[in-house]
Amino acid sequence: MEGFLTRIDYVFIAIYFVVLMGMGIYLQRKASQSIEDYFIGNRSVPGWLLGVSGFSQFVDITGTAVIISFLYMMGPQGMLIELRGGLVIHMAIVLIWAGKWHRRSGVITGAEWMVFRFGNGPDGKAARIITAVSMQIFTIGMVIYLAKGVGIFFSTFLPFSPHTCSFVLILLACAYTAASGFYGVVFSDLFQGFIIVAAVAVVSVMTIQHTWFDPEFPALASEVSGVDHWMTSVPYWRADMPEGYEQYNLLTLMAMFYLLKAVINGMGGGGEPKYFGARNDRECGTLTFLWTSLVSFRWPLMIGFAVLGIYFVSQNMPEPEVLNEATEIVKNTFPDVTHAHWETATSHIITNQAEHPELVSQLEGLMGPEWTDQLVLTSYHGNVNPERILPAVILNVIPAGLTGLLLISLLSACLSTFDSNVNWAVGLITRDLYQGYFRPQAKTKELIRISWVATFAIGLIGYFVSFRVANINQIWGWIMMALGTGFFLPSALKFYWERFNGWGFTTGMALGVGSAVVQFIFWPEMSEMWQFVLTGSLSLGGCIIGTLLTKPMDQEVLRVFYEKTKPFGWGWGKFKQNLDPETRKTMTREHFYDILSLPFVLSWHYLILLLPVLLVLGNWHEFIGAFILFAIAMAGMYQFWYKKLPKKNLYE
């Protein structure tokens, strides 16, 4: 690190840590006032701040590296792969109705919400417990993903292994999250959001200098990536992906699967602290609008790194045959090395050259004096490792003095994603498991101490399990297509099917999440499409069978749920008829406009993320077409959604 950081970089880094730690110490006192303060900010945090926090939550090192890898390989078409999660397209449905439906319950956590929906009998308690447990698995999956990504990223800069780098970062994130609670999440996300936007500006300006003023760039991008139409965002049915990414060859078919999965996620989404902490129904929509709009800043940063990566690879990496031969030399020296441990092995070679003089001599003779930089960018399959493009560009392309800013912005992104997800999961452990069933009379101080223990436990479990993951795309795909499908499908049915009961929810969640875990352990190489089919089928089957084989729910519990939440779906008509005529009319109008606005909001959501990518690339023809569609979507969204938002709550 000392070789490429300047004094300005060190000043930036020092200021960042001083401010972050100062915020943590100050907010720790406020967060400790009550359990509501610790987990949802006592429902007093402004909606705009929750929206900014959501933006920072959705920007992280690992996800950024994964998305950059697809943009590097495919250009704007790589965005279609990220319909699985990186585009956060599910937030369109949360924006319209799922967020406000959760908020109307008045509870603190998504697991506590299960008692509101299914009652406090055995089935409701089972649903609450399975939700809390499944959320821990989901969050541990996210920590595995983050640990793998930050290890790969920081080991490029530091003379330590990926495991060492991720261990230090996970401990730092655990300490901050445990100390400051929900207040720490939102206020640190605000601070870190400004840093991320500054990094976006820097990288975008550097990229535009190439793309707008270099007429040879489209040809260069196609040559380096091997994709003939790299500049276009219009999808092709088939994409010729490099080794290790063959499952994405049927690009359009995969994109349709990802879109279906995103809609399922959105229909049950919104059960997180930001929505339970919102002050009213209107804020649930406006904070999500701000959240999604701000996420658009992420995409020029990522396409910028992909473009700069193409230039760097074209100028500094040897021919594919050389990379493949270098990979075989390493594998012959370390015959037991696996895909999951490739980065650790190459890091060991580079930082311990004296231990392997013959290997170093072979690599230097094959690749030249810059062999260490080239080996870092070489994948297990003998080609350029696209997941290393991000750190390689920062290390070799970013001018001195700006490196520290970009490192801070990506570290900020890592911490903001970690603290939001872990705070959410720990709330379920503390509120729904410990206080709910073990220590109902526990005081605030005791509950917060339990939250600290849970935070470190989740972080360390995720860290150690990350050792078995081959690459960050593998774990991200599993979280989104296997674990996410098993988790969110039962979460969606809870709104739209009146007959659905706690036993059906518990069975569906157990089969969906359980099958995802079993698949991860025994069949980790299963394609994402089959992961989706496996967990989705088992989860849906469990929901239906578990519901129909058990008795219907208590009708009074359902009536209270319906009258507070007012969802649409199958079987709610008998409760709707009991409402007064004015409320029925208002509710019918609300549901009509919510559903009518969905295609406009989905289109707006995708286009607001695509437009900055096309702008940075200078693809003016597609930019103009996309902007016209964006204007139409925005007009429909304004007419059918925004104008219908109530001042505060639709039902008082």
Got the DSSP string for 372-398? HHHHHTB-TTSSB-GGGHHHHHHHHTS
Query: Which segments of the chain belong to CATH 1.20.1730?
Result: 7-312+401-644
Q: Which pLDDT belongs to residue 1?
A: 40
On the 0-12 / 13-18 / 19+ scale of CB atoms within 10 A, 272 is buried
Closest CA to 366 of 313, 309, 312, 328: 328
- The CATH classification number of 7-312+401-644 equals 1.20.1730
The confidence band for 416, taking pLDDT boundaries of 50, 70 and 90, is low
Q: Is the pTM of this model over 0.85?
A: no
Q: Which pLDDT belongs to residue 550?
A: 95
Closest CA to 317 of 372, 271, 274, 355: 372
The confidence band for 436, taking pLDDT boundaries of 50, 70 and 90, is confident
The confidence band for 3, taking pLDDT boundaries of 50, 70 and 90, is very low
Q: Which pLDDT belongs to residue 437?
A: 74
Whole-number Cα distances in Å, 164 to 73, 111, 304: 29, 34, 29
Mean pLDDT of the chain: 84
Closest CA to 35 of 501, 436, 611, 517: 436
DSSP character at residue 124 = H
Own/partner contacts of 162-167, CB < 8 Å, gap of 24 or more, are: 162/343, 162/344, 162/347, 163/344, 163/467, 166/463, 166/466, 167/463
DSSP character at residue 228 = T
The confidence band for 30, taking pLDDT boundaries of 50, 70 and 90, is low
Q: Which pLDDT belongs to residue 2?
A: 42
The confidence band for 102, taking pLDDT boundaries of 50, 70 and 90, is very high
Q: Which pLDDT belongs to residue 53?
A: 67
Residue with tokens 């103009």: 624
Tokens standing for residue 132: 């809390």
Interval 116-159: pLDDT, tens: 999 999 999 999 899 888 888 888 888 888 888 788 777 776 67
Lowest-confidence region among 12-26, 264-278, 427-441, 544-558: 12-26
- Does residue 43 register a pLDDT over 80? no
Interval 250-286: pLDDT, tens: 888 888 888 888 888 899 888 877 788 788 889 889 8
Tokens standing for residue 6: 């300047």
Tokens standing for residue 589: 């109008």
* 624, β-bridge pairs: none
Interval 188-211: pLDDT, tens: 666 666 777 888 888 999 999 999
Q: Which amino acid is at 482?
A: A
The confidence band for 64, taking pLDDT boundaries of 50, 70 and 90, is confident
Inter-residue contact 484 to 265 (CB < 8 Å): yes
